């Protein structure tokens, strides 16, 4: 599955990690592009942080790897939802109200899907209008899969920041981790819709379905170990917000040389991991890399325009 070549290099066989054929094909295409890059020629490897960012924090690549349908209509054609839906008036994510389409009662992992409609207006007076859609389901390897569609039902890179703080699929995963989330702030009951309490009850039932399915797998991932989730976060954060010490290793320079080269750039501390020390923003200083690199995203979690796409 993996083999440590040295203290800093690891060789991974993606076929052993539960990826399906589509995902393996997309990953192979990315790996080929990295292997013919000037970075690989100079270093003899692919930076793990850069690759994780490319497959996880880049929505274009993430959607291709997980096989997310390009239209909401295509997505919905694979699932059956309960006729009655949940109303979320107070949300910890959306600025407005939400309607949550709940999965059917089949109790089957293949039908476990949620569709959230992001609204303007009010459900209580029926003035609501659907502005965006967010979906979540379960992949064969037990991982959650997320997608965001605009009001025209087209797949988009992330949520509209005027409607919610949801950001990219990678931010959905940052909040959900490996779980189906109950309502965080919902209190108000709307007639003809599931109440927040009923919504939480359905979530609890579907959590059991998911837990039982994951227990039937033999994955490398321990879904109960949230430390693994944190380590993934650290991997992409350290890449997108590198320290002078990390850059010195990458660029084969002394740390003091890096600091001198980047003297015009202010450093910062990460809000979640201040112990990382003084950091730079990679998108600001990437031009100083002594070899050509493939383009990377500039944000780990927030929606950005014109994200690089190496998988057309």
Evaluate whether residue 94 is within a structural domain: yes
Res 38: pLDDT? 95
Evaluate whether residue 121 is within a structural domain: yes
Res 121: pLDDT? 97
Res 312 pLDDT > 90: no
Alpha helices in 54-101 (DSSP H): 59-66, 72-76
Of 229-233, 278-282, 300-304, the one with minimum mean pLDDT is 229-233
Res 201: pLDDT? 94
Evaluate whether residue 104 is within a structural domain: yes
What is the distance between the alpha carbons of residues 179 and 141, in angstroms, rounded to a whole number? Answer: 14
Instruction: Look up the pTM and report it.
Output: 0.93
Percent of the chain with pLDDT over 90: 76
Helix (H) or strand (E) holding 136: strand 129-138
CA-based torsion, 31, 302, 71, 99: positive or negative? positive
Res 219: pLDDT? 66
Q: How many domains does the chain have?
A: 1
From first CA to last CA, the distance across the chain in angstroms is 28
What is the distance between the alpha carbons of residues 309 and 81, in angstroms, rounded to a whole number? Answer: 33
Evaluate whether residue 311 is within a structural domain: no
Give pLDDT tens digits for 193-233.
Answer: 999 999 999 999 999 999 999 999 876 678 888 788 888 89
Helix (H) or strand (E) holding 284: helix 282-285
Helix (H) or strand (E) holding 153: none
Evaluate whether residue 41 is within a structural domain: no
What is the distance between the alpha carbons of residues 29 and 157, in angstroms, rounded to a whole number? Answer: 20
Evaluate whether residue 123 is within a structural domain: yes
Evaluate whether residue 200 is within a structural domain: yes
What is the distance between the alpha carbons of residues 88 and 195, in angstroms, rounded to a whole number? Answer: 8
Give pLDDT tens digits for 93-106.
Answer: 999 999 999 999 87
Evaluate whether residue 228 is within a structural domain: no
Res 176: pLDDT? 83
Res 70: pLDDT? 97
| Residues pairing with 119 in the sheet | 130
Give pLDDT tens digits for 29-58.
Answer: 999 999 999 999 999 999 999 999 999 999
Res 1: pLDDT? 58
Band of pLDDT at residue 12, cut at 50, 70 and 90: confident
Res 282 pLDDT > 80: yes
- Domain carrying residue 191: 72-215
Res 113 pLDDT > 80: yes
For range 260-273, the mean pLDDT: 96
Res 220: pLDDT? 67
């Amino acid at each position: 599955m993996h083999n440590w070549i040295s203290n800093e290099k690891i060789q991974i066989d993606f076929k052993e990690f539960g990826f399906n054929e589509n995902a393996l094909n997309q990953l192979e295409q990315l790996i080929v592009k990295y292997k013919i890059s000037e970075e690989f020629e100079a270093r003899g490897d692919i930076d793990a942080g850069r690759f994780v960012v490319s497959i996880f924090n880049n929505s274009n690549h993430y959607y291709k790897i997980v096989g997310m349908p390009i239209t909401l209509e295509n997505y919905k054609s694979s699932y059956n939802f309960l006729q009655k839906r949940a109303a979320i008036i107070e949300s910890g994510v959306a600025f407005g109200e939400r309607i949550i389409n709940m999965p059917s009662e089949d109790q089957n992992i293949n039908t476990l899907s949620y569709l959230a409609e992001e609204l303007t207006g009010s459900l209580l007076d029926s003035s609501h209008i659907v502005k965006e859609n967010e979906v979540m389901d379960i992949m064969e390897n037990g991982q959650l899969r997320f997608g965001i569609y605009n009001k025209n039902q087209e797949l988009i890179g992330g949520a509209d920041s005027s409607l919610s703080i949801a950001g990219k699929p990678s931010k959905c995963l940052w909040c959900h981790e490996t779980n189906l989330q109950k309502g965080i702030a919902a209190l108000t009951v709307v007639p003809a819709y599931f109440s927040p309490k009923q919504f939480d009850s359905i979530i609890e039932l579907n959590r059991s379905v998911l837990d039982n399915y994951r227990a039937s797998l033999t994955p490398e991932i321990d879904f109960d170990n949230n430390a693994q989730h944190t380590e993934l976060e650290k991997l992409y954060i350290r890449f997108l917000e590198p320290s002078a010490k990390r850059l010195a290793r990458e660029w084969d320079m002394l740390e003091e040389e890096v600091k001198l080269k980047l003297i015009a750039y202010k450093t910062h501390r990460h809000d979640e991991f201040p112990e990382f020390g003084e950091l730079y923003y990679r998108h600001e200083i990437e031009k100083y890399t002594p070899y050509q690199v493939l383009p990377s995203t500039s944000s780990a979690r927030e929606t950005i325009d014109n994200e690089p796409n190496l998988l057309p």
